[in-house]
Amino acid sequence: MPSQITHLRADGKAEFYESLRGGQTTYHGPGQLTAFLILNLKTHGFTSRSYVEFLENSVIATLALYGITGTRTENPGVWTPNGKKITSVGVHLQRYITGYGIGLNVHTDLGWFDRIVMCGLPGKRATNFEAEEVRGKSVEEVARAFAGVVAEGLKDCDEVVRIVNEDEVLGNG
């Protein structure tokens, strides 16, 4: 395992963290919309499976706004028709409260995915907006679109709060 972690860290260019998120190895980094919803499944009438489907369908609807076709398959996440993964999905539940969420590749450096067996699926490749011929979109723009789709899907939701960075979470920013 130590040599594998060294490989993942890419000679100090990245960090490696283990988490309680569902799924296997994934990558989160610049150019990726990382959206972690925190909500009570009971409040919104979700089961764990229907919540994952909600996340996947919210991503698919967001992609459609940009002319990208996204699909659900037997494998977790959202895929393009060419069989490449554009979004990883991983959740953690504790007492019906969700943690973690999605990693949607907007203009992510896809080279990082060559360093891992993405989500435990050998031979699968990642894609992003740019590889799907949608250029010039910022993570912030796509985040606003995704938040709108999610808010629309949460009918009992009074408020969607957007947190951009750790300082906002901690009240330092």
CA–CA distance, 118 with 42 (Å, rounded to integer):
31
Strand pairing report for 97-105 and 85-94 = antiparallel
pTM reported for the whole predicted model: 0.76
Compare 160 and 49 and report the one with higher pLDDT.
49
Mean pLDDT across 67-74: 95
Which tokens is 79 given? 């895929």
pLDDT of 169 reads 44
User: Is the predicted pLDDT of residue 170 greater than 50, yes or no?
Assistant: no
pLDDT digits (tens, 9 = 90+) for 33-63: 989 888 889 988 899 999 999 999 999 999 9
Compare 124 and 53 and report the one with higher pLDDT.
53
Of these residues, 63, 89, 119, 143, which one is catalytic? 119
Catalytic-residue membership of 119: yes
- Taking CA atoms, 75 is separated from 20, 55, 71, 118, 119, in Å, by 19, 14, 10, 11, 9
In DSSP notation, the chain reads: -HHHHHHHHTTTTS-----S-SSS-----TTEEEEE---BHHHHT--HHHHHHHHHHHHHHHHHHTT---B--SSSSEE-TTS-EEEEEEEEEETTEEEEEEEEESS--GGGGGGS-GGG-TT--B--TGGGT--S--HHHHHHHHHHHHHHH-TT-S------SHHHHHT--
pLDDT of 27 reads 66
What mean pLDDT, rounded, does the chain reach? 80
User: With contact defined as beta carbons under 8 Å apart, do 135 and 88 qualify?
Assistant: no
